[in-house]
């Protein structure tokens, strides 16, 4: 998706301090209209703070935040055209599903008929028709999450902010929901911004990812670019596993799945001994210990007959030169 000329959201040199700690340090980012943008990073890197500054719950100490080219610094949360889906869902316990979803509409003064129609539209969008009268404590985790989504989307926000929305779900549900979210976003065309620490999640749903380290952004780009061509060791190691070969002051990266493993010597291959084998069903991961240098990680899809290597066997690892990526430090 090519970003249009004016980004929907622009962070310009945004800084936030909490006491002695600098949570966000001079971050600049653009988010384009209609894209699914992910802020990915470990806890404490400032991604949630950045999102909350966009929502208006935290004020930046320095820098500007622009929405549609306008500085929104003075705007309190209730006047910003962003909607947030909270990590804990934050459904109002004293209101049923219908009233929860209609909350923002009532606030904006929609008349009853129009609001009711919109609520129905939203509930069918998230596939929760018929649950109008239920109360939040009668919903399952997955259902509660959909209600939170419907509620945030109902007022038609310019950008939807998702704060680690899938953290509470078990793995299968999480994966299904990731795909649903992506499909939903494509259908609606609304800009989504998700904050997550799970790199698989970010790569599945996002059009572009901003990989964050403490206080700042390490790299921004589409998932494939960030994964295949990371610009720093930090990004390389954060997104998946990495084999790093020192190259002077810098490193060369080769991903485990790009390495080939044999039980017979091959020309130019690196020799070693199998130290660990982990079987994941769809792939097998090997740790190969070498005489010199760090152990190598090799990941092989279990597409054909297995190698028959055991711990302690000798093995040879090779890779194509195109698979190597030069990194900064």
Partner 1 sequence: MTRGPSLFNRASVGLGLAFLYGPIALLVLYSFNASRLVTVWGGFSTRWYAALAQDGQMLDAVWVTLRVGLISASAATVLGLLAAVTLVRAGRFRGRALFSGMVYAPLVMPEVILGLSLLLLFVAVGLPRGFWTVTVSHTTVTLCYATVVIQARLAYFDRSLEEAAQDLGCPPVSAFLKVTLPNIAPAVAAAWMLAFTLSLDDLVIASFTSGPGATTLPMRLYSQVRLGVNPEINAVSTLLIAVVTLGVVAAGAIQRRRSVSS
- Cβ proximity to partner 1, 77 vs 265, nearer residue: 77
Token pair belonging to 295: 């152990």
CA atoms of 63 and 145, how far apart (whole Å): 33
Q: How far is the CB of 155 from partner 1 (least distance, A)?
A: 6
Contact between residue 29 and residue 64 where contact means Cβ atoms under 8 Å apart = no
Within 13 Å and on the Cβ side, how many CA atoms surround 88?
Answer: 4
Report the nearest approach of partner 1 to the CB of residue 184 (Å). 19
Closest contact distance (angstroms) between CB of 127 and partner 1 is 22
DSSP-assigned states of every residue in 15-44: EEEETTEEEEEEEEEEE-TT-EEEEE--TT
DSSP, collapsed to helix, strand or coil, labels residue 31 as: strand
Identity of the residue, 168 or 323, whose beta carbon is nearer to partner 1 in the bound complex? 168
Binding residues for partner 1, per CB under 8 A?
55-57, 76-80, 82-84, 86-88, 90, 92-94, 103-104, 107-108, 135, 137-138, 151-152, 155
Min dist. Cβ of residue 176 to partner 1 (A): 25
In whole angstroms, how close is the CB of 94 to partner 1 at the nearest point? 5
CB 149 within 8 A of CB 167: no
Give the span between the Cα atoms of 310 and 314, in whole angstroms. Answer: 9
Closest contact distance (angstroms) between CB of 57 and partner 1 is 6
Nearer to partner 1, 78 or 187 (CB): 78
Give the separation between CA 50 and CA 70, rounded to whole angstroms. Answer: 17
CA atoms of 40 and 245, how far apart (whole Å): 25
Residue placing its CB nearer to partner 1 in the complex, 57 or 280: 57
Radius of gyration, CA atoms only, the chain: 23
**For partner 1, the closer CB: 139 or 315:** 139
Q: How many CA atoms lie within 13 A of 41 on its CB side?
A: 23
Residue 38 Cβ vs partner 1, minimum distance, rounded to whole Å? 20
Task: Select 81 or 328, whichever has its Cβ closest to partner 1.
Answer: 81
Distance CA 245, CA 265 (A): 21
Nearer to partner 1, 152 or 211 (CB): 152
Angle CA 59–64–66, to nearest 5: 105
Cβ atoms 31, 194 nearer than 8 A: no
Instruction: Specify the residue, 99 or 290, whose C-beta has the smaller distance to partner 1.
Output: 99
CA angle 24, 26, 27 (to 5 degrees): 75
Strand partners, 70: 67
| CB 120 to partner 1: min, Å | 18
């Amino acid at each position: 998706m090519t970003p249009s000329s004016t980004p929907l959201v622009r962070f310009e040199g945004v800084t936030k301090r909490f006491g002695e700690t600098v949570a966000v340090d001079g971050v600049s980012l653009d988010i384009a209209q209609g894209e699914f943008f992910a802020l990915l990073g470990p806890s404490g890197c400032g991604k949630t703070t950045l999102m909350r500054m966009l929502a208006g719950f935290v004020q930046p100490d320095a820098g500007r935040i622009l929405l549609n080219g306008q500085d929104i610094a003075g705007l309190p949360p209730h006047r910003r055209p962003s909607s947030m889906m909270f990590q804990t869902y934050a459904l109002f316990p004293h209101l049923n599903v219908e009233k929860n979803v209609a909350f923002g509409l009532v606030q904006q003064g929609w008349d009853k008929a129009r609001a009711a129609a919109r609520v129905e539209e939203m509930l069918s969008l998230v596939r929760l028709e018929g649950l109008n009268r239920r109360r939040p404590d009668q919903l399952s985790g997955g259902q509660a999450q959909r209600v939170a989504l419907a509620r945030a989307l109902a007022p038609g926000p310019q950008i939807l902010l998702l704060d680690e929305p899938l953290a509470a779900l078990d793995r299968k549900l999480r994966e299904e929901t990731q795909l649903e979210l992506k499909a939903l976003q494509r259908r609606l065309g609304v800009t989504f911004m998700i904050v997550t620490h799970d790199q698989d999640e970010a790569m599945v749903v996002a059009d572009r990812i901003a990989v964050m380290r403490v206080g700042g952004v390490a790299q921004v780009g589409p998932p494939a670019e960030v994964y295949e061509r990371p610009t720093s060791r930090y990004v390389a190691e954060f997104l998946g596993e990495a084999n790093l070969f020192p190259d002077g002051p810098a490193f060369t990266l080769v991903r485990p799945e790009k390495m080939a493993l044999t039980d017979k010597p091959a020309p130019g291959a690196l020799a070693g001994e199998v130290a660990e084998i982990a079987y994941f069903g769809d792939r097998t991961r090997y740790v190969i210990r070498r005489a010199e240098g760090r152990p190598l990680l090799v990941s092989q899809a279990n597409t054909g007959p297995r190698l028959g290597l055991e711990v302690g066997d000798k093995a040879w690892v090779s890779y194509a030169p195109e698979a190597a990526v030069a990194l900064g430090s």
